[in-house]
Every structure is written in structure tokens, then in C-alpha cells.
Structure 1
Amino acid sequence: MSDPISSIRNLGPAFEQACAKAGIMTAQELRNLGADEAYARLLQAGTRPHFIGYYVLVMGLQGRPWNDCKGEEKKALRARFDAIKASASIAPKHQMIADLDALGVRISAKDLAAD
């Protein structure tokens, strides 16, 4: 049996649950994917993007404390995070809402304000 995701430095049970929703079940799977691919999968599974969560993952996979990221390294990670966030597909739940809105099935707050 492989080690749980929570065996990686900085990553606890909540992160492990988010990974499970994204189909990432073990620490080794997470290491094999790497931080960028794993984070993209988390976003696709519905995890809200959060820069600190991303760099905590990066630091954890490097075996470093979560708050070890500073200066130019942090700026470079921010650029990677922004690129991952921009390219991530909409999670299925959010896609369904967008589809309903496009069909006019859901009434948005904007539509209510127009009345």
C-alpha cells in the first residue's frame, strides 16, 4: 500500500480529501504528477483556486516548510499559478450552471435586478 497524501509535508486531511475528489489517491501519484498537473486536476475537480494552497503543495513536494517560499521564487510560483488557473477547465458542476444560464433556465441576480 502506498503512503497517504497526508504523509507529505504540509498536506493534511483536507488536502487529501480534495485530491481524492480529483482522483489522486496516494502520495506517490501526487509526486508523479507534480505540483502543476496535480493542482490543475484539483481545479478541474472543483477546488477553488488559492495561491497559498498551490505554493504549500509545491513546498511540500520539495520537502520544505510551507512558508519557505519568498521573493523571486514566490513571484515565479505566482506566474505558474496564474497560468494553471487560466488554463484549467471549468469544473463539471460549474459547467452545468453555465449551461443552464445559457439556456435561460436559471435566473441570475442581474436578471432579477433588471425587472
Structure 2
Amino acid sequence: MSTRIEDMRNLGPAMARMLAEIDILREEDLRNFGTVEAYHRLKFRFGRHVTILALYAMEAAIRGCDWRALDTETKEHLRGQVLQNRH
């Protein structure tokens, strides 16, 4: 059984509500979409209310660590993927 989004580290009720609006309700959904795709969908739906920190929080949630623990290389890689895969 997959963990509910609001029960994942870094992702609370507000993020869970936003992710639910793009059909991501559980950890398994987030893993299947991938954090970059989920970020793009959130940006499309919510615009400037979604910052790069949302991307870091989702990635760290999947990894099971605090988002501040992501190393610089990982953050740069994620930012690069976001820029490369713009919709």
C-alpha cells in the first residue's frame, strides 16, 4: 500500500491539496509521474504560486530525506531537467 502524499516527509496538507488537483494522491502516483513532470503540472495549474522548492520537496520526499539535505549537484540536475523539459 502506497503512502498518502500528506504523510510523506516535506509534503503537508497544502501540497497534498495541490497535487490532488493534478491526480497525484499517493506516493506511488508521484513516483510514476516523476518529480519533474509533477512540478511542470503544478506550475501549469498554479503558476507562480509554485516555486522550485516544491520540486526539491517532492524529490526529497521520494528519497525520504529533508529537502534541505539535497546536495547542490542534485538540485542543479533537477533545475536542468525542468528547463530542458518545458511544456
Q: Which has the larger radius of gyration?
A: 1
> Normalising by the residue count of structure 1, what TM-score does the alignment of the two structures yield?
0.63
CA contact 1:18–1:47 (8 Å) conserved in 2: no
RMSD: 2.0
Normalised by the length of structure 2, the TM-score is 0.79
The equivalent of 1:61 in structure 2 is: 62
Instruction: Report the alpha carbon displacement of residue 10 of structure 1 after superposing the two structures with TM.
Output: 0.9
The 1-side partners of 2:37 and 2:77 are apart by: 16
User: Where do 5+ consecutive residues of structure 2 fail to align?
Assistant: none
- CA 1:73–1:26: 2 relative to 1, 3 Å: closer
Residue by residue over 1:64-114, the C-alpha shift from the partner in whole angstroms, topping out at 9 and shown as x without a partner, is 211012332222222123334xx23xxxxxxxxxxxxxxxxxxxxxxxxxx
Q: Gaps (5+ residues) in structure 1?
A: 89-115
Aligned-residue offset at 1:22? 1.2
Does structure 1 retain, via aligned residues, the 8 Å contact 2:36–2:78?
A: no
Instruction: Please say if residues 22 and 44 of structure 1, whose CA atoms lie closer than 8 Å, have aligned partners that are also in contact.
Output: no
Q: How many Å separate the matches in 1 of 2:74 and 2:20? A: 29
The residue number in structure 1 matching 2:29 is 29
Extract structure 1 runs of 4+ deviating beyond 6 A: none
Count of paired positions? 86
**Does structure 2 conserve the Cα–Cα contact (< 8 Å) formed by 1:18 and 1:42?**
yes
Higher mean C-alpha deviation, range 60-69 or range 37-46: 37-46
Match of 2:83 in 1: 82
Structure scoring higher RCO (CA < 8 A, sep ≥ 6) equals 2
- The alpha-carbon deviation at position 14 of structure 1 amounts to 0.7
Q: Sequence identity, in percent?
A: 33
